């Protein structure tokens, strides 16, 4: 083998090793990105859940009307117990 062929083979090996290292780095970045996306989805769902519960509590505590909640073709009406007690006390004083 002459010197030119040896340098060509060595060049291919270096390019191959660098390509494998770059591929591994890209996979690592992709895994970090996937983990980050999962964390963002979890945090977003938690914020959405907390916001929904807060809004339900806020509306029900106003004692103005029942709050209809629909889920899977079923509807329930929410009323705060404090509102029921308030209505019973006002109705009982007549």
Please check whether residues 42 and 70 belong to one and the same domain: no
pTM: predicted TM-score of the whole model, two decimal places: 0.51
Please check whether residues 71 and 53 belong to one and the same domain: no
3-state SS, residue 75: strand
Tally the domains of the chain: 2
Both tokens assigned to 9: 């083979």
**pLDDT tens digit sequence for 30-74:** 677 778 888 888 999 999 999 988 988 888 888 877 788 888 989
Please check whether residues 52 and 90 belong to one and the same domain: no
**pLDDT tens digit sequence for 10-30:** 888 888 888 888 877 777 766
Please check whether residues 52 and 84 belong to one and the same domain: no
**pLDDT tens digit sequence for 72-85:** 989 888 888 888 87
Cβ atoms 67, 59 nearer than 8 A: yes
Per-residue pLDDT at 93 exceeds 50: no
From the list 45, 72, 67, the residue with the least C-alpha distance to 57 is 67
Please check whether residues 84 and 69 belong to one and the same domain: yes
Domain that holds residue 78: 63-94
């Amino acid at each position: 083998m002459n010197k030119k062929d040896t340098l060509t083979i060595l060049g291919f090996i270096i390019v191959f090793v660098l390509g494998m290292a770059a591929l591994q780095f890209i996979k690592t970045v992709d895994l970090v990105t996937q983990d980050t996306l999962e964390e963002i989805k979890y945090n977003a769902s938690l914020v959405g859940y907390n916001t929904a519960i807060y809004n339900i509590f806020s509306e029900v505590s106003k004692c103005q009307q029942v709050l209809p909640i629909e889920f899977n073709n079923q509807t329930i009406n929410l009323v705060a117990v404090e509102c029921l007690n308030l209505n019973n006390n006002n109705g009982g004083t007549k």
